[in-house]
Structure 1
Amino acid sequence: MPVGDSESARAERVDPYCLEEGEADRLLAGHPWKRFALFEDSVAEGLGDPVPGYLDQSWADRLATALKRHAPGMTRPVLLAHGWQSRGTCFEHFVPGLLKAGYSPVAYDAPGHGDAAGATTTVLAFREVIQHLADEHGAFEAVISHSVGALASVLALRSGVRTRRLVTIRQVGEFTHLFDEFCGRLALRRRVRGELRTRVEQRLFPREQDLWRDFSTTYASGRITVPVLVVHDGQDRVVGVDQARRTAEVFGDQAHLVTTRGLGHRRILSGPAVVESILDFVTAAQDGPAEVPAASR
């Protein structure tokens, strides 16, 4: 792969087993591919200690860079943003359909989740991961998000991350709802609730002037102008469907609300009708009523 004039890549310029500058572009010229996939192994991933004189970049990353330079529209990335106490693989039912339609799913494990390092995290750390992925992949064709991942996605979009479409699944419209739900489940008294609220403001988010407003997906909805699909189960015991209806309401005509029954908080990600509705929204324009019931199957 081309390595440029970096001093760190001096050895690569004379290595006969490395491509010369511009050679990758010549090899890719006129290719008929619509997408590419890499089956990961230690060689493809470039695992191992850095070698002096060679760029510390995996083969997969070099190939992706060359492909994006030669055919920037080829990868068509779709971000999959998981929620709290979850991981990127929760979207496994969406991947086959996205690949078949020519999209490149981009999933991750947020800090403290899945295989990612860390023991604690906040929604701001979720947002930072999304921003990093946007820097790497550019504008997303769509963002499919679940739970806290939906909130983080909205925060990222407000901060400049770009997408053509946004899907929020079982999202919280008002950030205060998370706090109130937590306190309610623990039956905390008013005084304890007040002390906990103060600690959240001062210890977790000391730089936020009004986190209860700013961390709500219903706030500053005018900054997000793309079509929005809001998906929620009517029997979700963690977050009531009223949160979804409120979110759809503030986005107005650009939003569609899909409701289900009997799928709850997590099974909603595997419901065939839900997956189909979301893939239809991602791949084609959606026309119809503001709220579209989806079967619970």
Structure 2
Amino acid sequence: MLYSLCYPLMWMLAYGHQKYHWCLVVTKRRPKLLLQTVVRPESHYHRQCNWLKRADIELLSWFSLSLAARYTLRLFERPTRMPCLSQDLAFEAQSVFDELTFSGHKVRVYRHEPECPNGQTLLLLHGWEGRSVMFRPLLTKLLSHGYRLILPDLLAHGHSEGSRCSFYELSSLILELDRRYGSFDAAIGHSFGGTALAIALDQGLTLKKMVTIGSPNGFGNMIDAYIDYFHYPSSLKAQLKHLYTRQQGKNPDDIGPPLWGRLNLPTLICHDSNDVVIKIQEAHDMHASFPNSQLCITSGRGHRGVLRDHQLHNAVLGFLSAA
């Protein structure tokens, strides 16, 4: 396909781009800090990559919606490993971690033990194309309040192995972490991490409380948002859900409002009003569906920046500590 054919060329361009940065630094026209940025097609030619993928999908759609759906599923479940800030890499290097083998891949799991434990263990799940260190601003506050924290880099993310990340595999990983580290008292999921938690709850995970941050109103809605965000043909929404139903035996739309109504655990639904990835209406719809939920709306932070918001931190701490 076009994307596969053009990708080696984009890597060559990225290599030349990186060498150009090196020349700028050597000639003292730019600071050395510039060399800390790794030029990659996915990060520096993001628009071109997305255009090629969209062209592939539209071409396939003319021949067969089924083929286009399978190709879209392959893209959907193959995240791009994004660059990590130097201070985050330093924080990871100082953190204690285990490495588990799951589905033939090593999964890195960070463990943070508080100085004064309160006896509660929390699971924190990052979002798509993220990594666990994104929780660092919230993590330090949770530790100071005595919570033991378990943070995996999910399959094909961060320091974990793999190139593919299936949502139903992730729910099995969550259940495995629950068995290994003792039952979690509560869990916090950002973006698709909240969706993975929902699937795990449907498959038997037991929690006392749950926090979602910038999460879609169900797995089906997440598929719809993915198709809309990348401007793929709308006809693929139903086809992709049909493909998931055939593979997993469950319609993605069932992981949403039909499930929320059966979950009585206290749930804090957090969202930023300026989130352009998952619209704020998703949070209001979730709040209306969960029988025992609270809503925390922040402003001006966006989809990932919300993890640094002090209002959100205080809301999470207050929610977790409430009887």
**Scaled by the length of structure 2, what TM-score is found?**
0.60
Q: Which runs of 5+ in 2 are unaligned?
A: 1-93, 100-110
What is residue 132 of structure 1 aligned with on the other side?
176
2:118–2:145 contact (8 Å) kept in structure 1: no
Is contact 2:213–2:270 with CA below 8 Å preserved after alignment? yes
Q: Which letter maps to 2:247? A: R
- The one-letter code sitting in structure 1 at the alignment partner of 2:295 is L
Structure 2 residue matching 1:105: 3-state secondary structure: strand
Structure 1 equivalent of residue 254 of structure 2:
214
- State the partner residue of 1:258: 296
Q: In the alignment, which residue of structure 1 is the partner of 2:166?
A: 122
Asked if 1:224 corresponds to 2:263, the answer is yes
What amino acid sits opposite 2:301 in the alignment? Answer: L
Aligned amino acid, residue 282 of structure 2: Q
Q: Superposition pairs for residues 45-194 of structure 1, below 5 Å?
A: 75-190=119-234, 193-194=235-236
Q: 1:103 to 1:189 in 2, by over 3 A?
A: closer
Taking the aligned partners of 1:40 and 1:146, their CA distance within structure 2 comes to 21
State the Cα distance separating 1:164 from its structure 2 match. Answer: 1.4
1:244 is matched with which residue? Answer: 283
Number of positions where the alignment pairs a residue of Structure 1 with one of Structure 2: 215
Q: Secondary structure at the match of 1:94?
A: helix
What is the alpha-carbon distance in structure 2 between the residues aligned to residue 183 and residue 155 of structure 1?
A: 20
Judging by fraction of residues, say which structure has more helix. Answer: 2
Look up the match of 1:23: none
Q: In the alignment, is residue 278 of structure 1 matched against residue 316 of structure 2? A: yes
CA distance, structure 1, for counterparts of residue 160 and residue 303 of structure 2: 23
Report the TM-score when normalising by structure 1: 0.65
Judged with a 3 Å threshold, the aligned counterparts in structure 2 of structure 1 residues 98 and 151 are, in CA distance, closer, same or farther, namely: same
SS at match of 1:229: strand
Which has the greater radius of gyration? Answer: 1
Letter in 2 for 1:121: C
Q: For the residues of structure 2 that align with 1:229 and 1:111, how far apart are their CA atoms? A: 26
Alpha-carbon distance, 1:277 to partner: 1.0
Q: Which runs of 5+ in 1 are unaligned?
A: 1-38, 47-60, 65-72, 286-297
The letter of the residue matching 1:213 is D
- Give secondary structure in 1 for the equivalent of 2:269: strand
Q: Distance in 2 between matches of 1:133 and 1:107?
A: 10
Q: Separation in 2 of the partners of 1:170 and 1:247?
A: 11
SS in 2 for 1:143: strand
In structure 2, the residue matched to 1:31 is: none
Shift of 1:189: 3.7
Aligned partners of 1:163 and 1:180: how far apart in 2? 28
Contact 1:158 1:224 in 2 (8 A): no
In 2 relative to 1, CA 113–234 (structure 1 residues): closer, same or farther, beyond 3 Å? same
Whole-Å separation in 2 of the counterparts to 1:280 and 1:169: 15
How much has 1:86 moved relative to structure 2? 0.7
Quote the Cα distance in structure 2 between the aligned partners of 1:249 and 1:260: 18
> Is the 1:167–1:229 contact (alpha carbons within 8 Å) kept by the matching residues of 2?
yes
Instruction: Give 1:123 shift.
Output: 1.2
SS of 1:206 mapped into structure 2: helix
Separation in 1 of the partners of 2:132 and 2:299? 24
CA RMSD of aligned residues (A): 2.7
